Structure 1
Amino acid sequence: MDLESQAEGKKEAEADDMLRSGPRPIVPYSSMFCLSPTNLLRRFCHYIVTMRYFEMVILVVIALSSIALAAEDPVRTDSSRNNVLKYMDYIFTGVFTFEMVIKMIDLGLLLHPGAYFRDLWNILDFIVVSGALVAFAFSGSKGKDINTIKSLRVLRVLRPLKTIKRLPKLKAVFDCVVNSLKNVLNILIVYMLFMFIFAVIAVQLFKGKFFYCTDESKELERDCRGQYLDYEKEEVEAQPRQWKKYDFHYDNVLWALLTLFTVSTGEGWPMVLKHSVDATYEEQGPSPGFRMELSIFYVVYFVVFPFFFVNIFVALIIITFQEQGDKVMSECSLEKNERACIDFAISAKPLTRYMPQNKQSFQYKTWTFVVSPPFEYFIMAMIALNTVVLMMKFYDAPYEYELMLKCLNIVFTSMFSMECVLKIIAFGVLNYFRDAWNVFDFVTVLGSITDILVTEIAETNNFINLSFLRLFRAARLIKLLRQGYTIRILLWTFVQSFKALPYVCLLIAMLFFIYAIIGMQVFGNIALDDDTSINRHNNFRTFLQALMLLFRSATGEAWHEIMLSCLGNRACDPYANASECGSDFAYFYFVSFIFLCSFLVSPGSCASVCCFTHLIVHISCWFLPLTHVTTQADSMF
């Protein structure tokens, strides 16, 4: 038995090694109990799955499927566009079903290493495809619950996630995010524990006290009966008195958790604070400033959560991002800083600086002058003074003051023009334009000269309005970035960080895409009302509008009001085939989106930048000793 178990263990280890390395061979186990590794059908499926362009074709189908999802009309469900997209969805689902079936035949189902259902990504594919197939079956039968069909169709938004496992770098970023959430699980538990404690305290303090009467003259619930005259509208109308509850309250722990989470995002908390200090007793309306001492509760809450826990949570995620990046090269003998510095040295492109060989020529003397530190300091001083002059402009200035600023602008433009001329003489035309900074300086000078000429012409010709040329004046400030070694290194670090952002941005874009499609499917048919947060400027009617709404929510701008406007029992668009729209799913939808944006978008971007900040000192040690000018006219610097 020991020999058999050892042989079995060795066989599984060899199978795992084969799965991890090179082109994947066929799994050395029977698939579905009847298809051996030599079975012709299984070998044919394995051949298709391992074809060179198979994954690329699936990626293209995923992209087309995602575009089709974004193009759907959430209001007119029976429109011709949706009918065309429905047949396209049949094709996409057929392709994904074919992919799933041949992979099941190739890999087997579950009982051996490398089987289909032992990979979480394959399980995700199975859920998405099965949901689409069941939705098609339900839509073909009359009398089925329409909400069930809509819920199953929402699973289609998970299709873009199939791209993660097919792009190694994107998968590495995703794994880093998942692992970071695992590592901060302890701090998340403490976070939820303290949130629960504050929620329980809030329930004890404010339960049943966030009610009010629509007639402000009535304080007690028993008096809030009958009708009253409403003078706030253009016409005086008799309105029924109603005993209402504020949108955010503390009547139970769940509502307290939602209210406190909203407060922690910095949205709507002044109004919640006002309702808290105005709260009196149960079955009694608010009284302004009734218990001002309760504001201490919110001060303590803000110190504990937004100022402490949230920052610790974000910091731990950033640290985990960096640690996960180090694990990739854990077997290397060099540390992270040394590897990064060597990578920089290998990929760096040495720049050249021209130097005239004839030291007696006028060109050499000009070159000596323009590369001297005094000249550089003078140019920096002129840029600083030009900045001050740009700040001196204000509305309705006297004519003499405007004339003085115009003359100063001409003086600075002349100085920067002279700088360009001297450098062209010193370096030569070709060598001058080899430097991107010199090209930028030259374009800025040309734009500034054009600005001066157009300004003079515009005084006599009102039809010429090229005010955008004044941007060239502000562009001179960018010249400061090339002055000074430290500034250039910081600028280099900033540029390098963008190279690490694409896959982080792609993951964030995928998050926005999924939530935008879900929003269109669930909230797209809500009637537009300018008195609510779902209006003609802010809605889920189209994919672009949904993205803009989510971007607004991600910035924290009144996301809680949008959430309230998407709740159930809302009026539907006249063209929608429904009597009631919206859903209480909005609570989970917006809270989860804000949570993911707060703890993924910002930490992910910061982590990408932080990965390059450690290079500054090491690049300095490598870079400065190579700064010299050779007598051959070309040198490293």
Structure 2
Amino acid sequence: MDSLSEPRDENLEQDDLEEEIEEEEEKPKIGMRPTRMANIKSKVKPIPPASSFFIFSETNKFRVFCHHICTHSKWCNFILGCIVASSVTLACEDPVVSKSYRNLVLKYMEYFFTTVFTIELLLKLVSYGFILHKGSFCRSLFNILDALVVTFALMSFAIDNEKMGVVKILRVLRVLRPLRAINRAKGLKRVLQCVIVAIKTIYNIMLVTFLLEFMFAVIGVQLFKGTFYACTDPTKLTEVECQGEFIDIDSDDRASIEPRKWKNNEFNFDDVSKGMLTLFTVATFEGWPNLLIKGIDSVSEDHGPIQMARPFVAVFFITYIIVIAFFMVNIFVGFVIVTFQKEGEQEYKNCELDKNQRKCIEFALKARAQRRYIPKDKMQHKIWWIVTSQPFEYFIFILILLNTITLAMKYDDSPKEYQFVLDVLNMVFTGAFALEFILKLFAFRIKNYFGDPWNTIDFIIVVGSIVDITIGKILPDQNIISISFFRLFRVMRLVKLLSRGEGIRTLLWTFIKSFQALPYVFLLIVMLFFVYAVVGMQLMGKIATDNEDSTINHNNNFQTFPAALMVLFRSATGESWQDIMMSCSDKPTVKCDKNSDDADKLCGSSLIAMSFFISFYIICSFLAS
């Protein structure tokens, strides 16, 4: 027995040693060379060592089969493709006519995608279990998001009644579907985790900012409660006087008889909630001069404005802008940057070196010796010496500057002789740059010439300029797109300035590198715009666009996905976003489109509009910072 047991022990020890070696290979190696956590290959999540739904054991064949399918790369790519395609269908819906042919086709596609996502959900539930044990499906927030998206879709199909408020809410919640892609993109997931950590870190600043906002709103109520009312007839200063009709003269000096109306300003300080909304618009630097004038001209409660009645109240608005818009916002942005830097350092937690040492090593590893081509042929060497000399570089630089000046000398309705001189100068400069190309090509040969990206750009500009001149001579009076396109190559000669001077090239290199470091942040912002555009279409797509007094018009609405994106981009830049928000509120003039199912009904909602635009502006500003 002893003789038999000894080999078994040796085999067990050998197996244990092999397992330890495999574990060591799986762990990230700690060494002098820094390794990003993102570069460490992630393993397929194994089946948890517990039963699934108390039915399927860890070694159950059906469970192993389900795990193999849901972790297979082709299945994962198929699911990612379905997520992208289903997100596109959300953007293609017609929010005005709910029963249109387009929506009917998209509904059948919705059935298909929901079926696929339901199968994926069931496979994962069988593979990992529900929630009781470690590593189960619902122990991950992203998996819970997937389950909610599928559940909401199934519920919307089960309760197929457009007029029910629950169905409208479920249809809006479908916009969570694009967020499922976050769990499949590691870099995007990492950026989102950084954003969440940043929010947790700066909640104290957010709380202080909110308290200051509340304090200023209370002060604003005390100063301006009921003082922003005014009569449409500026000669009447009280509501009692504001009766009857008056003659109104518009900007074109046309007179019309209009009824007098006693109106309140859309943004006012009649209560604390309205005061906080008004102050938030001031913090975004939108419409604050008008509010400042309203405050200065205010007299007392239920009294019309008198010019420069209370100039001292300007201190209130100036103090608020300095404290909130300048001071607190800069602290907020600073904390966000510091938090992102700290989270970025977590990627190097397997490295024993500090930040400066890592940078030095990365620079040393990426450094490459510069190669310089020197021709051996005498004639070629002479040309090479000329085109690489400093006087030649200065000469080309002067030509570029002169060409830039001539490009800036064009203006509308210029004399034909003047245009002829500019065209001749354009041909002279094109010939000079073409000669530079020929000389450099002869000096460096094809391989070495096109090995420099700047030379490739010069070649494209020269070819485009020659084609521009040729087409201009053949078709002198034809204004077609192809000619306009090739004329752009004249302006592209300004790019040649970037290749001259080491300082400009270094600055351009830094600019490009900074963009290369932010692809996932940009992708997260794109996803934010997509989600809010689809939500805007679902909630505010039926608002009529023929109201002359509204900022929701034919060029600014939520009836199509591209138009919704333009509205959001305008709001993100802070261009009159508060006017768009008020045009979507529950005012009597905000009615539904005449082609919609709710024609001539009220389509606005103050709660939805304010929640939508304020949350979008805050999140967009947070990500952009």
Aligned to 1:486: 503
Aligned to 1:197: 215
Gap change, CA 1:297 and 1:79, over 3 Å in 2? same
Is the counterpart of residue 369 in structure 1 residue 391 in structure 2?
no
Aligned to 2:273: 254
How far did residue 345 of structure 1 move?
A: 5.9
Cα distance in 1 between the residues matched to 2:128 and 2:484: 66
How far did residue 99 of structure 1 move?
A: 2.5
How far did residue 329 of structure 1 move?
A: 0.9
Cα distance in 2 between the residues matched to 1:235 and 1:392: 42
Post-superposition Cα deviations, 1:354-374, rounded to whole Å, max 9, x if no partner, equal 21124xx12212222222233
Cα distance in 1 between the residues matched to 2:449 and 2:390: 19
How far did residue 410 of structure 1 move?
A: 5.1
**Which among 567, 576, 597 is matched to residue 577 of structure 1?**
597
Q: Is the 8 A contact 1:208 1:250 kept in 2?
A: yes
Q: Is the 8 A contact 1:527 1:573 kept in 2?
A: yes
Post-superposition Cα deviations, 1:430-452, rounded to whole Å, max 9, x if no partner, equal 43333332232233334445555
Q: In terms of mean alpha carbon deviation, does 110-119 or 243-252 score higher?
A: 110-119
Cα distance in 2 between the residues matched to 1:56 and 1:424: 46
Cα distance in 2 between the residues matched to 1:426 and 1:241: 83
How far did residue 457 of structure 1 move?
A: 7.0
Aligned to 1:588: 611
Q: Is the 8 A contact 1:522 1:582 kept in 2?
A: no
**Which among 149, 161, 184 is matched to residue 179 of structure 2?**
161
Is the counterpart of residue 100 in structure 1 residue 117 in structure 2?
no
**Which among 502, 511, 518 is matched to residue 501 of structure 1?**
518
Aligned to 1:268: 287
**Which among 175, 193, 196 is matched to residue 178 of structure 1?**
196
Post-superposition Cα deviations, 1:300-353, rounded to whole Å, max 9, x if no partner, equal 222223322223322322232222112111221334455456556656776643
Q: In terms of mean alpha carbon deviation, does 464-473 or 64-73 score higher?
A: 464-473
**Which among 329, 335, 343 is matched to residue 324 of structure 1?**
343
Q: Is the 8 A contact 1:566 1:586 kept in 2?
A: yes
Is the counterpart of residue 71 in structure 1 residue 71 in structure 2?
no
User: Could you tell me which amino acid in structure 2 is paired with residue 557 of structure 1?
Assistant: E
How far did residue 199 of structure 1 move?
A: 1.4
Cα distance in 1 between the residues matched to 2:104 and 2:408: 58
**Which among 579, 583, 593 is matched to residue 561 of structure 1?**
579
Cα distance in 2 between the residues matched to 1:442 and 1:431: 13
**Where do 1:72-471 residues align within 5 Å?**
72-139=93-160, 146-230=164-248, 232=250, 239-336=258-355, 338-339=357-358, 342-343=361-362, 352-358=371-377, 361-395=378-412, 409=426, 411-449=428-466, 461-463=476-478, 466=483, 469-471=486-488
How far did residue 571 of structure 1 move?
A: 0.9
Gap change, CA 1:415 and 1:39, over 3 Å in 2? closer
Instruction: Give the secondary-structure state (helix, strand or coil) at the position aligned to 1:212.
Output: strand
Instruction: Give the secondary-structure state (helix, strand or coil) at the position aligned to 2:240.
Output: helix
How far did residue 376 of structure 1 move?
A: 2.2
User: Could you tell me which amino acid in structure 2 is paired with residue 126 of structure 1?
Assistant: A
Gap change, CA 1:145 and 1:444, over 3 Å in 2? closer
Q: In terms of mean alpha carbon deviation, does 387-396 or 275-284 score higher?
A: 387-396
Cα distance in 2 between the residues matched to 1:77 and 1:350: 64
User: Could you tell me which amino acid in structure 1 is paired with residue 226 of structure 2?
Assistant: G
Cα distance in 2 between the residues matched to 1:137 and 1:433: 63
User: Could you tell me which amino acid in structure 2 is paired with residue 472 of structure 1?
Assistant: F
Cα distance in 1 between the residues matched to 2:144 and 2:442: 68
Post-superposition Cα deviations, 1:496-543, rounded to whole Å, max 9, x if no partner, equal 333333322221111011101101111111111251111111111111
Cα distance in 1 between the residues matched to 2:467 and 2:102: 50
Gap change, CA 1:345 and 1:381, over 3 Å in 2? farther
Q: Is the 8 A contact 1:366 1:425 kept in 2?
A: yes
* TM-score for the superposition, normalised by structure 2: 0.84
Cα distance in 1 between the residues matched to 2:470 and 2:46: 72
How far did residue 156 of structure 1 move?
A: 0.4
Post-superposition Cα deviations, 1:92-122, rounded to whole Å, max 9, x if no partner, equal 2232233323323332333322222221112
Post-superposition Cα deviations, 1:175-197, rounded to whole Å, max 9, x if no partner, equal 12222222222222222222222
Cα distance in 2 between the residues matched to 1:568 and 1:121: 36
Instruction: Give the secondary-structure state (helix, strand or coil) at the position aligned to 1:244.
Output: strand
Q: Is the 8 A contact 1:249 1:259 kept in 2?
A: yes
Cα distance in 1 between the residues matched to 2:380 and 2:256: 88
Gap change, CA 1:484 and 1:235, over 3 Å in 2? closer
User: Could you tell me which amino acid in structure 2 is paired with residue 55 of structure 1?
Assistant: C
Instruction: Give the secondary-structure state (helix, strand or coil) at the position aligned to 2:348.
Output: coil
Gap change, CA 1:254 and 1:497, over 3 Å in 2? same
User: Could you tell me which amino acid in structure 2 is paired with residue 595 of structure 1?
Assistant: I
Q: In terms of mean alpha carbon deviation, does 393-402 or 178-187 score higher?
A: 393-402
Instruction: Give the secondary-structure state (helix, strand or coil) at the position aligned to 1:53.
Output: helix
Gap change, CA 1:527 and 1:467, over 3 Å in 2? closer
Q: Percent identity?
A: 49
User: Could you tell me which amino acid in structure 1 is paired with residue 602 of structure 2?
Assistant: E
How far did residue 248 of structure 1 move?
A: 0.5
Instruction: Give the secondary-structure state (helix, strand or coil) at the position aligned to 1:224.
Output: coil
Gap change, CA 1:129 and 1:398, over 3 Å in 2? closer
Cα distance in 2 between the residues matched to 1:343 and 1:81: 54
Count of residues paired in the alignment: 579
Cα distance in 2 between the residues matched to 1:119 and 1:452: 63
Is the counterpart of residue 520 in structure 1 residue 541 in structure 2?
no
User: Could you tell me which amino acid in structure 1 is paired with residue 261 of structure 2?
Assistant: Q
Post-superposition Cα deviations, 1:384-437, rounded to whole Å, max 9, x if no partner, equal 344344444455667776666556555544443443333233223443333332
Q: Is the 8 A contact 1:72 1:85 kept in 2?
A: yes
How far did residue 572 of structure 1 move?
A: 0.9
Instruction: Give the secondary-structure state (helix, strand or coil) at the position aligned to 1:139.
Output: coil
How far did residue 281 of structure 1 move?
A: 0.8
Q: Is the 8 A contact 1:220 1:283 kept in 2?
A: yes
Q: Is the 8 A contact 1:209 1:285 kept in 2?
A: yes
Cα distance in 2 between the residues matched to 1:132 and 1:186: 37
Aligned to 1:26: 47
Instruction: Give the secondary-structure state (helix, strand or coil) at the position aligned to 1:423.
Output: helix
Instruction: Give the secondary-structure state (helix, strand or coil) at the position aligned to 1:328.
Output: helix
Aligned to 2:68: 47
Q: In terms of mean alpha carbon deviation, does 85-94 or 405-414 score higher?
A: 405-414
Gap change, CA 1:66 and 1:456, over 3 Å in 2? closer
